[in-house]
């Protein structure tokens, strides 16, 4: 009763238990629900990325403030994912907690990651197509499109180690945002928990694989619009790396970094801190129960032997 009336945030130990249970529910969901929830998440993150592109265009703010405002509006993506409910690959890296805790197999984790990654890609690409046909990129004398082109250009020109390091830090922050939402009891709690980690990763220029599934394909489309290329102050020869190959190279490095940051630096670390003792306690309890059962059956056998 007191728990129902409590307005305190859930403590970290409870958050870890909730994460394990959420992980099990996510990984054992039926395939089509999982896929369509992932498509939704891809489009939600795409909407956040689109909002970011629009807001940072000609904002008239200084470098830091522009990044801050961009980060705040990008948070829309994860707010939609968490509150409306959707399956996001980067957030689902936390499922590793349930695997390490022995509640899921690695195969079940992988099934979730593969289906969700593909679903996120489909959702992001669909959002790119819709945004292209809205002609929103022509706003502000094609400067919105120019921003999209410059963002994609910067992303495909990152070296492998830079993209990897930015990917690690990005998903550490995204998973921390998801982790923090587990402490919340209301929608307001959850939104506030999301805002700062997401703003920090966007403002810091870190790399998010699912957001890049929107940003780079949008840049690829913008590359084919001469007015946008002109507004971006670029020439076609500069954009040679902005290709499908450049997109895949970026995704490989960033996805690898995202998995490491989310699964190893957040999920595994928090599991080690809060859940490893529980596993030991459970193991000890099961060993004790097994010993007790064995002792009981031995006693019964002996009793039967004496009777005979």
Partner 1 sequence: MAYLLNIFDLGITFLVPATVWTLLVIGVFQLVRESIPRPRVASRQVAREGGSR
Binding residues for partner 1 (CB under 8 A): 105-111, 113-114, 160-161, 164-165, 168, 256-257, 259-260, 263-264
Q: Which is nearer to partner 1, 73 or 259 (CB)?
A: 259
**For partner 1, which is the closer residue by CB, 10 or 111?**
111
Question: Are 251 and 212 in contact, with CB atoms under 8 Å apart?
Answer: yes
Choose between 204 and 293: whose C-beta lies nearer to partner 1. 204
Q: Quick one: 119 or 184, whose CB is closer to partner 1? A: 119
Name the residue nearer to partner 1 (CB basis): 98 or 149: 98
Q: In whole angstroms, how close is the CB of 198 to partner 1 at the nearest point? A: 23
State in angstroms the smallest separation of the CB of 55 from partner 1: 32
Residues 6+ apart with CB under 8 A from 4: none
Residue 208, burial from CB neighbour count under 10 angstroms (0-12, 13-18, 19+)? buried
Q: Indicate the residue among 86 and 259 with the shorter CB distance to partner 1.
A: 259
Q: Smallest gap, in angstroms, from Cβ of residue 161 to partner 1? A: 5
Q: How far is the CB of 57 from partner 1 (least distance, A)?
A: 33
CB of 183 to partner 1, least distance (A): 27
Shortest reach from residue 215's CB to partner 1, in Å: 22
Smallest gap from Cβ 112 to partner 1, in A, equals: 10
By C-beta, is 140 or 256 nearer to partner 1?
256
């Amino acid at each position: 009763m007191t728990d129902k009336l409590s307005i305190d945030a859930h403590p970290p130990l409870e958050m870890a238990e909730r994460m394990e249970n959420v992980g099990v529910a996510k990984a054992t969901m039926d395939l089509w629900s999982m896929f369509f929830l992932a498509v939704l998440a891809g489009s939600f993150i795409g909407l956040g990325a689109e909002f970011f592109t629009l807001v940072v265009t000609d904002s008239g703010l200084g470098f830091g403030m522009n990044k801050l405002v961009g980060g705040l509006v990008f948070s829309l993506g994860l707010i939609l994912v968490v509150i409306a409910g959707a399956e996001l690959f980067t957030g689902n890296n936390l499922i590793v907690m349930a695997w390490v805790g022995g509640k899921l197999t690695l195969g079940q984790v992988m099934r979730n990651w593969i289906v969700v990654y593909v679903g996120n890609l489909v959702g992001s690409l669909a959002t790119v197509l819709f945004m292209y046909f809205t002609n929103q990129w022509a706003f502000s004398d094609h400067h919105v499109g120019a921003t999209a082109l410059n963002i994609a250009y910067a992303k495909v020109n990152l070296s492998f180690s830079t993209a990897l390091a930015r990917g690690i830090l990005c998903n550490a922050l995204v998973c921390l945002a998801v982790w923090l939402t587990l402490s919340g009891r209301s929608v307001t709690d959850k939104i506030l928990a999301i805002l700062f980690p997401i703003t920090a990763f966007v403002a810091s220029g870190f790399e998010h694989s699912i957001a890049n599934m929107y940003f780079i394909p949008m840049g690829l489309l913008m590359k084919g619009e001469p007015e946008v290329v002109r507004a971006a102050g670029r020439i076609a020869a500069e954009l040679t790396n902005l290709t499908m190959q450049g997109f895949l190279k970026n995704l490989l490095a960033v996805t690898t970094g995202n998995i490491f940051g989310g699964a190893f630096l957040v999920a595994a670390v928090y599991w080690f801190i809060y859940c490893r003792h529980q596993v030991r306690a459970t193991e000890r309890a099961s060993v004790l129960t097994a010993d007790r059962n064995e002792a009981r059956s031995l006693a019964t056998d002996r009793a039967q032997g004496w009777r005979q």
